[in-house]
Amino acid sequence: MRVLGIETSCDETGVALYDTERGLLAHALHSQIDMHALYGGVVPELASRDHIRHGALLVQQVLRDAGLEMKDIDGVAYTEGPGLAGALLVGAGLAKALAFGLNKPAIGVHHLEGHLLSPLLAADPPPFPHVALLVSGGHTQLMDVAGVGRYTLLGETIDDAAGEAFDKSAKLLGLPYPGGPKLARLAETGDPKRFSLPRPLLHSGDLNFSFAGLKTAVLTQARKCADLPDTDPWRADLARAFEDAAVDVLSKKAMTALKQTGRKVLVVAGGVGANQRLRATLNALCAKAGVKVYYPDLQFCTDNGAMIALAGALRLVRGQRDAQTGFNVRPRWPLAELDTPPV
């Protein structure tokens, strides 16, 4: 089955074509970073309009790259939620129009399920069951993953997600949007011993996270350093302290989840999963514990159409599909409300 995937949940328009027998055939991504950088963050109305401009064009590009025609599509998957309402509606409208015109099935995909399953796109995909550390921009969760659609929440953030804390802390350091990756690059030159920042909930006894206090600690230190000369490397040092604290919490909670569940496989997904310090730390801890760890390819850590095409294909082959007419989106959609597909 060849499934076209369309992702428009926020500030990236992603389209991909996935074949259940041959794997990923083609994918394309348009990023809105340069446009939103002028405003220091995502402007929802501008995001929606940009998805309209690029969605259909990317569909055509992906078909060309795959050497296929529209009639060769067997199904269409799209991000139903969570995300920005207007942006979601653009992708859902395009997907449902294509499916209706081709008389093919369509299916709405949960954005977080796309991230959870994205490591399956790799040449060496992880087996089920496993523990998943999901660290996307707006979500930080630990999940026990028994199979497609069979997810048990083990812990989640009670305030800011890790990705939000990275971006907000970067802004406090004067770094431009999007700040998370820039903070990580700045931290490479920082002194890890200059600042000591808290590790919120590290010893809470549960698997929940909290990053709001860590962000506030960055603010407090930044204010103390505001009058230092420009030659002082305090920004790099503080970026390193923040990254060390965040990675420490994420990695130790993930290892606790593995211990509590008895799983021997860890999957890390989402944008923060591209962080090299987090990967290095988890690689070392998992090697010591006899656990195998998997990551998506770097190009599939952030939002993309490939993960939506994959997740949609796995559900379509199990007989799930939307009603033929009408569509809806779910800007707020807890993963716990996701249907479990037939085996």
Could you list the residues known to form a binding site for substrate, using ranges. Answer: 134-138, 167, 180, 275
* Positions at the binding site for Fe cation: 111, 115, 303
* Positions at the binding site: 111, 115, 134-138, 167, 180, 275, 303
**H helix runs in the chain, sequence order:** 33-37, 44-66, 85-102, 111-117, 162-172, 179-187, 212-225, 234-261, 276-289, 305-316
How far apart, in whole angstroms, are the C-alpha atoms of residue 140 and residue 171? 20
Determine whether 326 is exposed, middle or buried from the number of CB atoms within 10 Å of its CB (0-12, 13-18, 19+).
exposed
How far apart, in whole angstroms, are the C-alpha atoms of residue 43 and residue 34? 12
Q: Answer for the pair 148, 282: CB distance below 8 angstroms, yes or no.
A: no
Tell me: cis bond preceding 129? Omega within 30 of 0 counts.
yes
Q: Answer for the pair 18, 56: CB distance below 8 angstroms, yes or no.
A: no
How many other CB atoms are there within 10 angstroms of residue 206's CB atom?
A: 10
